[in-house]
Amino acid sequence: MGGKAKPTKHTAKEIAKKVFEANVNRGGGANGAASRTDGKCQFKCYICLGFQPSEKSMQIHFDAKHPKETMDAERIKVAA
């Protein structure tokens, strides 16, 4: 706990979250190339070329990132 009128700078929870996010593999860059091509990401956005693991995730992606566009199910499938 901080003292009287002295706000704490960072909590242990915030620091642990920063350390975790800095060290976890999110699938980007050269390290994530294998995870993007191993068949788990079966859907590719034809607008921003992002990969999604399922059609439901792709629908959520379209609603969030491309709200003015309609998703064409035939164009998002990635050939294995």
**Phi and psi for 52 in degrees, rounded to 5?**
-135, 145
Contact 32, 26 (CB under 8 A): yes
Query: How many C-beta neighbours within 10 Å does residue 61 have?
Result: 19
Residue-wise pLDDT tens digits, 8-17: 788 899 999 9
Tens digits of residue pLDDT in 17-72: 999 988 877 767 777 777 666 666 788 888 998 888 888 989 999 999 999 998 88
Predicted local distance difference test score (pLDDT) of residue 16: 94
CA distance 73 to 80: 16
DSSP 70: -
